[in-house]
Amino acid sequence: MARATGTRNLTMGTRARLARRRWGGFYQERIEPIFLYGRRNPSLIVGLAMLGTLLLFTVIGLFGYAQLEPHTNDPSQNSRLDAFVSGGAPVGDKRLPPSWCTWCEDIAELEGDKKPTLFQYPMGTDTQARDLFATNLRGIPLTLGTGLIAGLLSVGIGTVTAFVAAYYRGVPDVAIRLLTDVGISIPGLLILIIIRIQLGTELLWWQLGAGLAAVGWVFSSRTVRSQVLVLREQPYVEIARQSGMSGLAIIFREMMPNLIPYITASFVASVAGSILASIGLEALGLGDFSSPSLGMTVYWVIQFGAITLGMWWWWLFPLAFIVIIFVSLFLISAGLDEWSNPRLRRQV
């Protein structure tokens, strides 16, 4: 046996201890607490795992599917991922059930008489012959991206306004408070409908995100402001102020670390809210018609009456992705609540 005699007789525990020493305590100090915390806060871990799996699926799918040979001889289609574009007269196999679904009722309109192979269309095609697997793969990042941009912007604006209000007090505080009070009671979706109709142009995914942030920042501002007001009265902030720390230093070095859980929770909430609103806008027909985002798929599903046509594959897959996105974001925000408000621990 070539195995070194020194380690052969060691028990598992000793081996782990050795490994731990080699990590230089890094595992014990940094990694292990995460697992221990995860056991106490399963919803955060489950939520993150769901979102991570979805992202992994999308990334692998996007790279893997692009490698397969395109469906048609159309030179404008370089890869299968181009197959969601429906410019001009739709060409190709229409209304095809997922090709692995051998028991599905056949309502397809094939272009040629060639039967599709087993994994040619993993999620079937729609009435305009778009490959729905390609559509969904491209749609998930677009929908998540809209939410991400909206979330980042609204949390950014919300945090800055909250600090301005809390720092200057007086008139800015009153103005910002009134603005958020008024903004919260006006449904942002309706204002966006008006904006979008007046712009007349179709909004790209990031423009939609920016628009959602323009009406959604009031929620973040209110959440963060209420926490800043609590923190401002804390003794350690008072000590920092009296020992001559500058305002910015107090904000970033003393208050920010305690605000991070709230800011993160507010970020997740506004991402979820923005995705909900963006899908709503797109389903109302106010999205980008050339975009394959999940909301636009919902729009086409309603427009073409996919449900009455019995084309379950058209709406079931985007629905599943949307549900995964919302449930994972919900679990993450529930987990963050537990993190930021330890009093809730083991109660809720």
Binding of other proteins by 187 (CB under 8 A): yes
Binding of other proteins by 110 (CB under 8 A): no
Site string for other proteins, 133-172 (x = CB under 8 A): ----------------------------------------
Site string for other proteins, 244-283 (x = CB under 8 A): ----------------------------x---xx-xx--x
Residue 254: partners with Cβ closer than 8 Å, 6 or more residues away: 236, 237, 240, 245
Which of 32, 253, 310, 345 is close enough to bind other proteins by CB under 8 A?
A: 310
Binding of other proteins by 330 (CB under 8 A): yes
H/E segment holding residue 94: none
Min dist CB 181 to other proteins, Å, is 6
Q: How far apart are CA 260 and CA 263, in angstroms?
A: 5
Among 93, 99, 49, residue whose Cα is nearest residue 331: 49
H/E segment holding residue 146: helix 132-168
The Cβ of residue 28 has, within 10 Å, a number of other Cβ atoms equal to 12
Which CB atom, from 91 or from 193, has the smaller least distance to other proteins?
193
Tokens of 80: 């299968």
Which of 98, 329, 335, 339 is close enough to bind other proteins by CB under 8 A?
A: 329
Which of 12, 197, 243, 257 is close enough to bind other proteins by CB under 8 A?
A: 197
Residues 262, 268, 272: CA angle, nearest 5 degrees: 145
Among 274, 277, 269, 288, residue whose Cα is nearest residue 189: 277
Residues of the shown chain interacting with other proteins in the complex, contacts defined by CB under 8 A: 178, 181-182, 185-187, 189-191, 193-195, 197-200, 272, 276-277, 279-280, 283-286, 298, 301-302, 307-308, 310, 312, 315, 319, 322-323, 326-327, 329-330, 334, 347-348
